[in-house]
Amino acid sequence: MARQTGRAALSLNEEQSALLKSLASSRTVAQREVERAKILLAYAEGKLPTEIHRLLGVSRPTIYKCIDKALAAGVSAGLRDRYHRPYAPQISDAAKAWVIDLGCCKPKELGLAAEVWTLSALAAYVASHAASAGHPRLASAGKSTVWRILEGSELKPHRVRYDLQRRDPDFARKMAEVLMVCRDVNLYPPEVLHDAKPQSIHTVSVDEKPGVQALGTTAPDLPPTPDRYTGIGRDYEYVRHGTLSIIAALDLHSGHLIANVEPRHRSVEFIALLHRLDEHYPKEALIRLVLDNHSAHISKETMAYLASRPGRFEYVLTPKHGSWLNLVEAAFSKMARTFLRHIRVNSLDELRSRILQGIDEMNAQPVRFQWKNFDFQMTK
């Protein structure tokens, strides 16, 4: 195809010219795009294909193809490879849909023991059942083929994404009640009385931290030494002595923590904490408890104890899966980050004494935990 006379002109606007110049001098784009940009720039300047061949060292067929695409479909087409399929696809859309449908099912639903797929297991299942499902081409499909089919639908059946659903239909109402109580704590000290508040009210946040492990070392710890070991040396192995539960009540007015350390957290242990709260606060005061609906909090034994002291306790229940609304969780978090962190003991009794000592240290410098920006929290 000769263009020595009467050749078609390639006109470039400013944007196209700037794009081609940028590509021609680029060190990061593919080399073929650099060559095509130089070809189009030279042709637009009036150079003939023979001159471009001598100037750039590019074959004449390559020059002709690039120019023809640019003249026919524009400069962008001249820079790109022309898409072509060497042969018709062998895996039909129905076969791909079958693989995707398998990926959306759990293996146990198909008679296997696994809960979720692995890529190898899914590929093996596809290969063994493809013929009977009417897709014989997939009988020889490997992991890469199955992966490409799944990737086309952005499907990853080997992954598990965890979330937490709000199963409490009254979540919003209960959350608002808890936040209103916290706002009331910030506005009124417990000793303030008025017409709407004829008796003093002490608000405490109550919850349990179960399963605190009593772990012991198998060898003495090695202390840090200057310029050699910057941290404590400890053997990887450990001894289990059992677990304890911390049943605590956080005074939202002062930050004082009242806690019992028990081997279990049943109704008996919870009633023991209520008894301590009854002795701690003035007899004429109302004790308002912010707590969840754990079985120990609403059991028959607990209700019988509350009935024996009418007008003494008042429940404000947090919604299900709303433990973040209970401020005593912040105190538990502080315990986990301070004296419970890396703790090692020789017995359950030692763990109990260490926990009570840590609580005494927290009460020596109490921190008043409180919610802020109530309007934002109540509209979440």
pLDDT digits (tens, 9 = 90+) for 341-351: 999 999 999 99
Query: How many contiguous H segments (helices) and E segments (strands) does the chain have?
Result: 14, 5
Reading the block at residue 64, the tokens are: 């002709």
Running DSSP on this structure, what letter comes out for residue 130?
T
pLDDT digits (tens, 9 = 90+) for 363-375: 999 988 887 765 5
The runs of H, that is alpha helices, within the chain are 14-24, 31-44, 49-56, 60-73, 75-79, 93-103, 119-129, 143-152, 171-187, 267-280, 300-307, 328-337, 348-364, 374-378
Q: What is the mean pLDDT of the chain?
A: 89
Q: Is 185:370 a contact under the CB 8 Å cutoff?
A: yes
In terms of pLDDT, which residue wins out, 8 or 347? Answer: 347
pLDDT tens digits, one per residue of 92-136: 999 999 999 999 999 999 999 999 999 999 999 999 999 999 999
From residue 290, alpha-carbon distances to 174, 260, 322, 369 in Å are 11, 17, 12, 14
pLDDT digits (tens, 9 = 90+) for 184-193: 888 888 777 6
Q: Is the separation of the CB atoms in 255 and 367 below 8 Å? A: yes
What pLDDT sits at residue 7? 65
* pTM, 2 dp: 0.62
Structure-token pair, residue 26: 């680029």
CB 291 within 8 A of CB 317: yes
Sequence-separated contacts (24+) of 179-185 with Cβ below 8 Å: 179/325, 179/371, 179/374, 179/377, 179/378, 181/288, 181/290, 181/316, 182/252, 182/290, 182/327, 182/370, 182/371, 182/374, 183/371, 183/374, 185/252, 185/253, 185/370
